Amino acid sequence: MKRHLLLTIFFVSFIVSTMAHGRDLFDNGALPKNSLLTPSKTTLLTATYFNPISQTAQDSVKLSREQQLSKLPGYKLPKKALFFSAVIPGAGELFVGSYWKAAAFFLAEVGAWTYYGVNHKKGKDKEDEYEVFADDYWNPDKWLSWYNGLDDNTKNTFTHAGHMLDLLNEGKRTQQYYEMIGKYSEFVVGWEGARTDLTLDELLEYRKNEIPIADDYMEMRAESNDLLRRARTGTTIAMINHLLSAIDAAWTAKIHNNRLLKTALKMEQIHFDNYIQPVLTLKMEW
């Protein structure tokens, strides 16, 4: 054991002294200029190039990483990718070359607008249906005749009759018109089959129990409104898809640019001009 330890100490001491002596030979010029161990001008130039404090390195540091990457073939500007996907989801990903994500965002966009289109059409069709139903079964003249026969105190208890009078005078049948005739009991007399001698106290119960046609009408309105709400959900999904695709496109472009430059920095021995030279190599792939 002691013998092995002494041999190890001797060997390490020999290596250290040899390295120190070799450095002194170079420093003092003891070795000839054409020695195989003499560093060539190319080696010195390479070392200077990769010296982090050299002027070349200092100049490159002044450029940001993005500016350096922008000089590489295949570089994709993140802002441009973001803009493309903000306009058409998936376009920015396609610009960068991420085809699967481009397809996913584009299909999501198509799906959202298809969902909107289908439900919007159904909602509008149902809206047309209940408006035709109301025009057939709710008579504004019948209601107006009943209303005009009421005393002023009774009229003042109605909260929506004034607005209805304005619409009738203007000849307008707006969304509020079609909402009020089915929603509020003060308009129940206008429905087909309703009595015209109803008192104020009878209106609410009569509307609930005696006029099922008004309930059928309100069910059609509810179905239409539900379909139109679904359509609005489609537009919301589309807007979110635009936002997510734009963010993803910019991020994907950034990742793409970072992967463009793969560096492999290592020391190699090359034969050049009758010299065996150690050089520091930088390998770039894109």
Only one residue has tokens 């993005």, namely 66
236-245 burial string, b = 16+ CB within 10 Å, else e?
ebbeebbeeb
Measured from the Cβ of residue 20, the count of other Cβ atoms closer than 10 Å reads 10
Residue 36, token pair as written in the block: 């195989």
CA distance 241 to 263: 36
CA distance 176 to 163: 9
Pair 250, 75: CB distance under 8 Å: no
Report the range of poorest mean pLDDT among 40-49, 136-145, 242-251, 262-271.
40-49
CA end-to-end span of the chain, whole Å?
Answer: 55
The residue with greater pLDDT, 121 or 21, is 121
Average pLDDT across the chain, whole number: 78
pLDDT digits (tens, 9 = 90+) for 70-112: 677 788 889 999 999 999 999 999 999 999 999 999 999 999 9
- Of residues 282, 250, 279, the one with CA closest to residue 40: 279
CA distance 103 to 202: 62
Residue 111, token pair as written in the block: 């799906």
- Considering just the CA atoms, what is the radius of gyration of the chain in Å? 43
pLDDT at 34 over 80: no
Helices 212-260 and 175-183 pack at an angle, to 10 degrees, of 130
Only one residue has tokens 């054409």, namely 34
Q: Where are the alpha helices (DSSP H) in 74-184?
A: 78-87, 91-96, 99-137, 140-148, 152-156, 161-170, 175-183
- pLDDT value of position 202: 84
Residue 198, token pair as written in the block: 């109803």
Strand, helix or coil for residue 137? helix
- pLDDT value of position 92: 95
**Residue 93: how many CA atoms within 13 Å on its side-chain side?**
19
CA distance 39 to 26: 10
pLDDT at 156 over 80: yes
Q: Give the model's confidence band at 152: pLDDT under 50 very low, under 70 low, under 90 confident, else very high.
A: confident
Beta bridge partners, 281, equal: 266
CA distance 161 to 193: 21
Q: Does the global pTM surpass 0.75?
A: no
Q: Give the model's confidence band at 209: pLDDT under 50 very low, under 70 low, under 90 confident, else very high.
A: confident
Q: What distances in angstroms separate CA 137 from CA 133, 162, 191, one per listed residue? A: 6, 22, 6
